[in-house]
């Protein structure tokens, strides 16, 4: 199976104009994908770990996109390690690499953890590309 | 100082079914951005702090791009995260609001650093941009 290619672009506009360090276009090779929403039920307890499904991506992610679409702060772990800070509602984290990381530090798993009892049924939105050949 | 308003657009498009579009309004009052040189011959395991400058309370936008030629590890708030950023790769975090402060590691983003994974071969650099939490 040949690689497919995605383009990841982010642009920061506003009072600082377009910052050169944040006007990025990256070409990402990938052969497997998974994307969607993960449900977090109403009244889910605080400190509940919710797995982000990598689906058919078995080797490593070359693009990882996650948005906290719940109504509470979440903590994120990637490849089993704490991310070191909370993600508030509406926040997004994006990782994109034009080359595979390989080795022991490749991105292979992610989870989010609730920080309080969930108020209403909520979802986390995600997109993952990976396993370039 | 009143808040500045910045619109951040992130897109992921290409072959396959994934087509993501994110647009956030990120208020901010302070910024710190630039390039950190990583000289030829820098030892494996060398840590470079990302300057937050006047961003003291909380980063609501954080961007780092690795242009060293080798992979880098990322530390957030002193924590060794699972992010390993290969050469040419970027990590971007953006938040439209502040976090609700917790305890221990469950806190706001206030510091970050990159760590070399190998002996640096040739001069390299790390680009970064940090924007602060909103006022009020």
Hey, CA dihedral for A54, A57, A60, A62, is it positive or negative? negative
Query: Starting at the edge strand that comes first in sequence, how are the strands of the sheet with A4-14 ordered?
Result: A24-30, A4-14, B4-14, B20-28
Q: What angle do CA A41, B107, A11 make, to 5 degrees?
A: 85
Q: How many CA atoms lie within 13 A of A38 on its CB side?
A: 20
Query: Which pTM was predicted?
Result: 0.87
SS3 A78: strand
Q: Among A63, A59, A38, A60, which Cα is nearest to A49's? A: A38
Between B63, B78, B97, which is nearest A22 by CB? B63
Gap between the Cα atoms of A20 and A1, Å rounded: 36
pLDDT of residue A96: 87
Q: Residue holding tokens 């109403």?
A: A42
Name the more confident of A40 and A133: A40
Q: Is the pLDDT of residue B134 over 70?
A: no
What are the tens digits of pLDDT across the range A78-98? 998 988 889 999 888 988 888
Residue A24 is predicted with a pLDDT of 66
Beta partners for residue A5, in sequence order: A29
Rounded average pLDDT over A9-25: 61
pLDDT tens-place string over residues B59-80: 888 889 999 999 999 999 999 9
Q: Do B86 and A8 touch (CB under 8 A)?
A: no
User: Rounded distance, CA A59 to CA A132, Å?
Assistant: 9
CB contacts, 8 Å: A33 with chain B: 16-18
Contacts of B125 (CB under 8 A, 6+ apart): B35, B36, B37, B38, B67, B68
CB < 8 Å from A in window 10-39 of B: 10-18, 20, 22, 24, 31, 33-35
> Looking at the partner chain, which of B15, B81, B91 has a beta carbon nearest the beta carbon of A4?
B15
A26 contacts in B (CB within 8 Å)? Answer: 88-90
Q: What mean pLDDT is reported for chain A?
A: 86
Dihedrals phi, psi of B134, to nearest 5 degrees: -70, 160
Does the pLDDT of residue B136 top 60, yes or no? Answer: no
pLDDT band at B1 (very low <50, low <70, confident <90, very high): very low
């Amino acid at each position: 199976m040949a690689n497919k290619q995605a383009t990841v672009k982010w642009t920061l506009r506003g009072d600082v104009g377009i910052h050169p360090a944040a006007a990025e276009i990256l070409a990402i090779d990938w052969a497997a994908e998974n994307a969607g929403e993960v449900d977090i039920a109403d009244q889910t307890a605080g400190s509940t770990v919710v797995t982000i499904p990598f689906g058919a991506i078995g080797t490593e992610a070359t693009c990882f996109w996650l948005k906290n679409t719940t109504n509470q702060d979440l903590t994120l772990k990637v490849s089993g390690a704490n991310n070191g800070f909370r993600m508030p509602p509406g926040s997004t984290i994006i990782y994109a690499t034009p080359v595979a990381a390989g080795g022991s530090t490749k991105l292979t798993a992610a989870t989010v953890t609730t920080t309080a009892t969930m108020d209403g049924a909520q979802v986390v939105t995600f997109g993952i590309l990976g396993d370039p050949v | 100082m009143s808040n500045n308003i910045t619109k951040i657009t992130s897109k992921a498009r290409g072959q396959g079914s994934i087509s993501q579009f994110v647009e956030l309004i990120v208020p901010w009052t302070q910024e710190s951005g630039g390039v950190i040189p990583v000289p030829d011959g820098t030892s494996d395991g060398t840590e470079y702090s990302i300057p937050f400058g006047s961003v003291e309370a909380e980063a609501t936008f954080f961007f780092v791009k690795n242009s060293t030629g080798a992979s880098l590890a990322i530390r957030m708030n002193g924590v060794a995260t699972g992010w390993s950023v290969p050469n040419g790769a970027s990590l971007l975090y953006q938040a439209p609001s502040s976090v609700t402060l917790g305890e221990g590691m469950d806190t706001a983003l206030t510091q970050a650093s990159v760590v070399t994974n190998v002996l640096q071969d040739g001069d390299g650099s790390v680009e970064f941009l940090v924007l602060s939490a909103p006022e009020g």
